Amino acid sequence: MRRNLFFLLLLLAAGCVTTPPPGNLPRVVNSFPADALMIQRAVLTVHGRQFTLNGYLALSRTGGKRLIVTENFGSVLADVLVKPDGDVYVMRSSRMFRPEWIRRYVAADLNCIFGSVPDAHCPGRLPNPAHFVIARREYTLDLQIVETKTGLQPPEMFDETERGSP
């Protein structure tokens, strides 16, 4: 009986061991153009399920950051605008990306990678300057920038009152 109890306690203790949390994502200062359009590919893993996503990020020195996340067939899953002052506007959401989730996670990850002010909680790593892995308790985002087109972006992309199609 004691032997079984000892074995059970040993199993319980071993089950409590967790891997250490990843470090904060290193800041990539001045590595992105102030005005550009970036095309991204990502794999989002949530509870063991993987989703492939495409992203189109418009950066504007004066307008902020506008990220449009689509599925492989082009349907918009999330559209978020983060103004230079940090205000977040959910321009479009979907069943997969609800407005609260976009504000809490998508905008936070956007600021972790492309923000100008370092965030204290950006758990992840940087395999190379165009590859980012954010590992939060709820999910893992593996994002790669596949193309960057520099230049001014249309100002209407950064108008929070325009909530139509991108």
> Each residue of 39-59: pLDDT tens digit?
999 999 999 999 999 999 999
Q: Which residue range is the domain that position 89 belongs to?
A: 37-151
Does residue 119 lie in a domain region?
A: yes
- Give residue 24's pLDDT: 72
- H-helix or E-strand spanning residue 3: helix 2-15
- Give residue 54's pLDDT: 97
Which token pair is 5? 């109890």
- Give residue 152's pLDDT: 96
- Give residue 4's pLDDT: 43
| Residue-averaged pLDDT of the chain | 84
Q: How many domains does the chain have?
A: 1
Does residue 67 lie in a domain region?
A: yes
In sequence order, the 6+-apart residues with CB closer than 8 A to the CB of 12 are none
Q: How many CB atoms lie within 10 A of CB 102?
A: 25
Alpha-carbon distance of 100 to 86, in angstroms, equals 16
Does residue 83 lie in a domain region?
A: yes
- Give residue 31's pLDDT: 75
Which token pair is 129? 């300057």
Residue 36 pLDDT more than 90? yes
Mean pLDDT of 133-143: 95
- H-helix or E-strand spanning residue 92: strand 88-92
Place 117 in a pLDDT band, splitting at 50, 70 and 90: low
DSSP letters spanning 50-67: EEEEEEEEEEETTTEEEE
Does residue 21 lie in a domain region?
A: no
